[in-house]
Structure 1
């Protein structure tokens, strides 16, 4: 949980200068309610892809990686590296929250109802733009920036396509009462964001994510659909899956090295 709290604080700090106060408070409330799964996966991916095991320390100096006392013997990464990893994680989270908020507004436009709702919608769309922009700022000049751009571009195409499909699928609902094609397009955001999280975590330690780690992101996104659970509900499972893939990657690398001429 310390990991998620560190990322949440970093995300809030990234928007600390937003004005007027009402807009800042709105953005802060969005981040307070956010599931930190994308940020947590970024941290776990950095841990998995690091050339050496390390102890991640949050901003208060607490050890956040591993579960046993033996982790004290791991190589401790520098304060700069820890800050860089948290910054990448906060950037991923900000982009996701901004796009998620945009998606919500696109599905249920507040400007077609009462004036009070329209005012709230104006605030929300400004907040969404700021969240995405600040997320891009935190990931700028990193090897994850390209994936961040593609995530936003893909989101825009999906939402345009969804708007075109809705009239066609209005009467074609599945057994669960949901029209599957628009829902599938919506869920692309979660897939893209978790892939971005893996890539952002890997590049924070100057590595390229393994196919196995990217597969973890895909599995998590498939299970989540269009809404991530609270990070406390899945963090232990997330850590276990990432570590399992990390061990598998290490075993594969050793086997490959042993058979190399």
Structure 2
């Protein structure tokens, strides 16, 4: 998919100053391995608004602002996903502590750079809320044994919806948020009917901050 390639390139561009090379190479590997669906969903949400309002959906490679938002969502997802994996399958218990230490550092870098890309956007508070919710879920899972892993995808897809539609100048509708969490709960995959589903739940007249949660709402 063309959008996935452009998002991956933007994500790598955001970490191109990371040293030493072994850290950058590990980031490259993780971006290849993880699903690009959150970043692609970000772009799809923005494009749905643009189409509904009669605006052109430009080539993502030429739309730096949207590509950066999508990359920010993707970096946060990959970083938290890797953290979740490390918490579940701790490499330190199997004699692979060096790899585990590297991945902890990589995960921190990914989340931090994702925050940086979203810091001055309307999705910044939503990004903070995603990370806070992830931390709470991990604590509850550790203390109770309850699996809350699926919440990450739901939360990240909702972040993607906010980042996408606000890039096009509107706020997410409750129906869009519901669609985002539904998609995140279904193996975080994007259906072939995504365009039609988005068209049915976006609102080009929704402006301001209505529907955009801040950190105090969580």
The one of 187, 197, 202 equivalent to 1:241 is 197
Report the Cα offset of residue 209 of structure 1.
Answer: 1.0
Q: Which runs of 5+ in 1 are unaligned?
A: 60-78, 167-180, 251-261
1:130 maps to 109
Q: State whether structure 2 residue 88 is matched by structure 1 residue 86.
A: no
TM-score (norm 1): 0.73
In the alignment, the residues of structure 1 paired with residue 106 and residue 193 of structure 2 have an alpha-carbon distance, to the nearest angstrom, of 32
The one of 184, 188, 191 equivalent to 2:151 is 188
**3-state SS in 1 of match to 2:86:** helix
1:7 maps to 7
Query: Max radius of gyration: which structure?
Result: 1
In the alignment, the residues of structure 2 paired with residue 102 and residue 159 of structure 1 have an alpha-carbon distance, to the nearest angstrom, of 10
Equivalences for residues 65-104 of structure 1 within 5 A: 79=62, 82-104=63-85
In the alignment, the residues of structure 2 paired with residue 101 and residue 48 of structure 1 have an alpha-carbon distance, to the nearest angstrom, of 30
In the alignment, the residues of structure 1 paired with residue 193 and residue 8 of structure 2 have an alpha-carbon distance, to the nearest angstrom, of 20
1:211 maps to 174
In the TM superposition, structure 1's runs of 4+ consecutive aligned residues that sit over 4 Å from their partners are none
Q: Which runs of 5+ in 2 are unaligned?
A: 205-218
TM-score (norm 2): 0.87
Equivalences for residues 6-155 of structure 1 within 5 A: 6-50=6-50, 51-59=53-61, 79=62, 82-114=63-95, 117-155=96-134
Q: Does the CA contact (< 8 Å) of 2:151 and 2:185 recur in 1? A: no
In the alignment, the residues of structure 2 paired with residue 56 and residue 236 of structure 1 have an alpha-carbon distance, to the nearest angstrom, of 21
Q: Does the CA contact (< 8 Å) of 1:191 and 1:222 recur in 2? A: yes
Question: May I ask how many residue pairs the two structures share in their alignment?
Answer: 203
In the alignment, the residues of structure 2 paired with residue 188 and residue 8 of structure 1 have an alpha-carbon distance, to the nearest angstrom, of 23
In the alignment, the residues of structure 2 paired with residue 127 and residue 30 of structure 1 have an alpha-carbon distance, to the nearest angstrom, of 9
In the alignment, the residues of structure 1 paired with residue 8 and residue 129 of structure 2 have an alpha-carbon distance, to the nearest angstrom, of 24
Report the Cα offset of residue 203 of structure 1.
Answer: 1.4
**3-state SS in 2 of match to 1:96:** helix
